[in-house]
Amino acid sequence: MRQIEWSSLDGQGRLDALARPTRRTDGEVAEIVATIFAEVDQRGGAAVADWAERIDGARPRRIAITDQAVAEARAALPPADTRALRVAAENVRVFHQFTRPEDSAWVETTPGVRSRLVWRPIRSAGIYVPGGTAPLFSSLLMQAIPAQVAGVGDRVVVTPPTRDGGVHPAMIVAAGEAGLDAIWLIGGAQAIAALTFGAVLDDGEIPACDKLFGPGNAFVAEAKKQASTLTGGPAVDMPAGPSELMVIADRDADPEIVAADLLSQAEHDADAQVILVSPSRTVIAQTMAAVERQLETLPRAEIARASLAEARAVLVADLAAAVEVANLYGPEHLSLQVEDAEALVPALTAAGAVFVGRWAAETLGDYAAGPSHVLPTDGAARTLGGLTTASFMTSMSVQQVTQKGAQALAPIAARLARLEGLEAHARAADLRMAP
């Protein structure tokens, strides 16, 4: 974990200190993804299957989410696990129902001219759920349920198979809670390519989707990026690559809790990045020692250690400087382990999700608090928010104009059109001025 003294750095030095892991922008990753996309574009499902066998170790499979399949999956899990899944699903549903955008009221800007915004669900959503080394069924709940609340007609869920080519029963239970008909066992850039171009496979067809969602590793993030640049290709939710967590800790923070929070994200992926920011040298030293102690008994210690190679411990002059660091970095997750955590929130401008105070563990947000844990990474939080029900919807303005309203506003529009040199526009307005 690299230690940095913030006040000793110039502007470029500060940017360098907060740089993301280089693998996220590795040219080799981009080249491999481009190759996969080109082959899937040319050969369709055959190329998807070939890459799936090569990378996932198994051909793509469609898992039907029937009542029987869900019942069998529930029976394979301890009752406490299935209850926890249900509570998490319900909390996600409640939050997203409450925050679902509603059509606005009419706004009359000129007598006889009124407008409003109306919201509509997108037609189809391609939802990527990370997996492979760990079954991230929570990411299924955090995406498929908001899409359901939004009213999306076609939700296509893809997730990597387990090491034996199967699916964890918790993933099937989560799919049942989300009301899905099926999930596809396929991961990586090949899954994103299938959602982008569509693919006919042994078990059925994955349709080309209008918009792609979900977090993933460097290959998945790059695949979504390349998909969004294709002419007529899908939109994407946000850059949602390997996990990030920044913890701001003051002298009253508990180093054991801070260390546990840092490791909770470091264990995700070798490309994950965790950053500690504190005005206390003592807290930094004690936290780093706690990280080493906790690593000794962590099952995914090897992954966490690889992530910690890209970790930072930043010493700042005060909490105002800590907020400056957070806003510059734009973390996916930001934990405020300070005495008066709420007081820092108004000054924050760039974070995917903020966890206020020692009791607000980022893990609670990951699984069961309600807001989606699909959040922007790589600094995108400076301009983008996390996944919400609105992410699965579009807004349209609806305008109504009476004859009186047209006669009042058309002369203004016609004059402005002619000022721009657009005579046809002006004439279309002129025709509305006649009594």
Enclosing H/E stretch for 417: helix 403-419
Task: Enumerate long-range contacts of 383-386, CB under 8 Å, 24 or more apart.
Answer: 384/238, 384/239, 385/352, 386/238, 386/352, 386/353
Q: Is 423 a catalytic residue?
A: no
Residues whose CB falls within 8 Å of the CB of residue 178, separated by 6 or more in sequence, listed in order: 89, 140, 141, 144, 145, 148
Residues whose CB falls within 8 Å of the CB of residue 62, separated by 6 or more in sequence, listed in order: 182, 183, 184, 185, 201, 203, 204
DSSP 8-state assignment for residue 106: P
10 Å Cβ neighbour count for 432? 16
Beta strands in 93-150 (DSSP E): 107-110, 113-121, 124-128
Which residues share a beta bridge with 183?
A: 63
- Please pick, among 177, 222, 267, 332, the residue that the annotation labels catalytic: 332
Task: Give the largest Cα separation in the chain, rounded.
Answer: 84
- Please pick, among 333, 342, 362, 425, the residue that the annotation labels catalytic: 333
Q: How many helices (DSSP H) and strands (DSSP E) are in the chain?
A: 16, 17
Pairing of strands 182-185, 154-159: parallel
Which residues share a beta bridge with 315?
A: 5, 278
Q: Is 332 a catalytic residue?
A: yes
| DSSP-derived 3-state class of residue 77 | coil
| DSSP-derived 3-state class of residue 45 | helix
List the catalytic residues.
332-333
